[in-house]
Amino acid sequence: MIVQASLILWGAFYLESKLPLSHIVAGFSVSLMTQVAFTRYLSLPTNLLSTLNSTLSILILLHANSWVWIMLACFVAISSKFIIRYNNKHIFNPSNLGIVAVLLLTSSAWVAPGQWGQAAWFILLMAGLALIFIMGFSRMLTSISFLVTFAGITLLRAFWLGDPLPVPLHQLQNGALLIFTFFMLSDPMTTPSNNISRLIFGIWLAITSAILLFGFYIPNAFLYALALSMPLVLLLNHYFTGRHYHWPREYHYEK
């Protein structure tokens, strides 16, 4: 969350294409109100850290001509945790679902892959690698397998087409890709609970993303690939048993 908040502040005050403060206020306001409304209605504890994390991911990745679309993305993200559930656990990655829903609804919202520049890309890469040591290789296996497989497919495609090495490297120097890999795929609530299933899921996501990107030319295809593939987690958890992640006792309702 420190890395995410730092990117928000950098985007709001430093980058030429500044992140509007109205989008930040609108996003946090709707997310917090939605979380409080659902938890009070259902008589559940309020997990504000989870809400803030989802909101930061949306604000970092999603851009729009109007703050209304940011509000909608945040509302869909937070409400989906309480509405779209199976076996007492939400199915979709909240921030991913909110972003994809808005991208499909309007052409006035978009994800800018190169908005953070080369310096921020390197910082994101270092932060992501540090996250592996913090959370552990096992917990981050989905992120690792996805990034390694997607990078391998990109390099092999360039070799097949005869493209020079800078072409695939430029495709991989994507700030949105790293944010997705390390800060969205690392969500322990919506990733498989077994190491084998995490490995399978990461590889599946990479292949699906490559098909959507190189076959159908869909920008930021990995976001759509995750939204389409989330039901696969239920199947993997059924066939590959493992220890399900749960929040500390005060957040037990999100188990």
Which position has the token pair 């190169």? 114
Asked whether residue 91 falls in the same domain as residue 154, the answer is no
Helix (H, G, I), strand (E, B) or coil at 189: coil
CA angle 199, 201, 206 (to 5 degrees): 100
* Residue 249 domain-assigned (yes or no): no
* Residue 247 domain-assigned (yes or no): no
Asked whether residue 64 falls in the same domain as residue 18, the answer is yes
Asked whether residue 90 falls in the same domain as residue 129, the answer is no
Asked whether residue 89 falls in the same domain as residue 127, the answer is no
Q: State the DSSP code for 214.
A: I
- Specify the pLDDT at position 253: 41
Asked whether residue 94 falls in the same domain as residue 23, the answer is yes
Asked whether residue 155 falls in the same domain as residue 232, the answer is yes
The mean of the pLDDT values for the chain is: 87
Q: What is 217-253 written as a DSSP string?
A: --TTHHHHHHHHHHHHHHHHHHHS--------GGGGG
Q: Give the model confidence (pLDDT) of 106-146 as tens digits.
A: 999 999 876 665 566 777 788 888 888 888 888 899 999 99
Which of 179, 220, 188 lies closest to 60 in space, CA to CA?
179
Q: Give me the amino acid identity at 129.
A: L
Q: How many domains does the chain have?
A: 2
Asked whether residue 63 falls in the same domain as residue 166, the answer is no
Asked whether residue 162 falls in the same domain as residue 70, the answer is no
Q: How far apart are CA 49 and CA 145, in angstroms?
A: 27
* Residue 69 domain-assigned (yes or no): yes
Query: The pTM is what?
Result: 0.89
- Specify the pLDDT at position 125: 83
* Residue 253 domain-assigned (yes or no): no
Asked whether residue 52 falls in the same domain as residue 151, the answer is no
Residues 6+ apart with CB under 8 A from 230: 91, 92, 93, 190
Q: Give the model confidence (pLDDT) of 82-97 as tens digits.
A: 999 887 778 999 999 9
Domain that holds residue 37: 2-111
- In DSSP terms, 180 is beta-bridged to none
Which position has the token pair 């957040």? 251
Residues 6+ apart with CB under 8 A from 35: 46, 47, 48, 51, 78
Helix (H, G, I), strand (E, B) or coil at 97: helix
Asked whether residue 125 falls in the same domain as residue 211, the answer is yes
* Residue 252 domain-assigned (yes or no): no
- Of 56, 76, 111, which residue sits at a domain end? 111
